[in-house]
Amino acid sequence: MLAALVTRAAPGTVDYIVYAPSSPLQDFTPYQRAKAVLSLWAGVERIVGNATLTQPLCRMVDPALTEGMVEWVVGHSLRHHLGMDSHIVNPGHLWDPTCPPLARERPVAVLGMGALGAACAAALRALNFPVTGWSRTEKPGCLHGEAGLRQALSTAQIVVLLLPKTPETEDLLNASRLALLPRGAVILNPGRGPLIDDAALLAALDCGHIGHATLDVFRVEPLPKDHPFWAHPRVTVTPHIAADTRTTSAARVIAENIRRGEAGEPFLHLVDRARGY
Ligand code: NAP
């Protein structure tokens, strides 16, 4: 029989830990009875390496969170694709009748084709953007490996980063990979801050090689007030709001995993500790 949902309980009485990685709970040793830790966050880099955690770890794959991410990525892609800024802020009342190209003429690379990347790629494809996906493992219609990454970057006018933070993905967009992008390419990073080498990005923005970076995630959050990203004319900062875990739908995901645990069925969205995501 499950105990009621509580925020404080004697560790020896706890069956499941519904967990936010920002929680002060870092030592899982006393929770030997717990059958699983059910994270409320999609990204697990703060907990995946915790040596005291021996129970199965499940991450959040929430349909509403995915919906939010699709809206953020499509919205910011269309902003850049349509050149909306030049019409929204036009103090000189310039009449520039240049039409943007069609979406079909604007290649997009989505790095990370998991729950979120695949949904964003599908939404962008539905608008006719030619989307190249890139992931760690081989999958149909998707590039992988260093050669695949180089191929994806070499034509992308918009790059969407939806990778987890792992030792392999840290500084993935460094100076040499940024240099592969066509001049004026736009970067959207709703994945994790450390995926990009900040100094290399600032240098690429300063010289105009990268046209704009819309960043939702940062190495330090909140982004420090004096960070050069805030004032940079080619950077848009959004405060880690691309996709939030939504209570109603996330509660269903948690409840389903508890049901599975009690029925002896495999958990959904298990994290692979060795892989790091
Ligand atoms: P996911 O389903 O685990 O997908 C991760 C994708 O990244 C997979 O396609 C995976 O490849 C790929 N990948 C991992 N390591 C790689 C590597 N070394 N090289 C190439 N590809 C690699 O995760 P998700 O649910 O889509 O979430 C992605 C990330 O979004 C999260 O980890 C989190 O950091 C971020 N996020 C941000 C927000 C926000 O509000 N800004 C909200 C939620 C999530 P395989 O398919 O081959 O495994």
Domains 11-62+245-263 and 65-237 share a fold: yes
- Is 232 considered catalytic here? no
Question: Which has more pLDDT, 22 or 216?
Answer: 216
Q: Please report how many Cα atoms fall inside a 13 Å half-sphere around the Cα of residue 50, on the Cβ side.
A: 19
- Is 252 considered catalytic here? no
Name the closest-CA residue to atom 32, ligand 1: 164
CATH number for the domain whose boundaries are 11-62+245-263? 3.40.50.720
Q: What is the pLDDT of residues 46-101, one digit of tens each?
A: 999 999 999 999 999 999 999 999 999 999 999 999 999 999 999 999 999 999 99
Q: What is the CA radius of gyration of the chain?
A: 21
Q: What is the pLDDT of residues 162-212, one digit of tens each?
A: 999 999 999 999 999 999 999 999 999 999 999 999 999 999 999 999 999
| Domain residue extents for the chain | 11-62+245-263, 65-237
Q: What is the pLDDT of residues 108-127, one digit of tens each?
A: 999 999 999 999 999 999 99
Report whether pLDDT(265) > 80: yes
Q: Taking CB atoms and a 6 Å cutoff, what residues make up the pocket around ligand 1?
A: 42-43, 61, 65, 112-117, 135-137, 162-166, 168-169, 190-192, 216-217, 240, 242-243, 277
Using pLDDT thresholds of 50, 70 and 90, give the confidence band for residue 5: low
**What integer pLDDT is reported at residue 96 of this predicted model?**
94
The torsion angle over the Cα atoms of residues 94, 95, 101 and 106, rounded to 10 degrees, is 10
Homologous superfamily of 65-237: NAD(P)-binding Rossmann-like Domain (3.40.50.720)
Q: 118 near 133, Cβ under 8 Å? A: yes
Q: Using alpha carbons, select from 160, 180, 179 the residue that is nearest to residue 80.
A: 160
Mean pLDDT of 13-40: 95
Give the C-alpha separation, 132 to 127, whole Å. Answer: 14
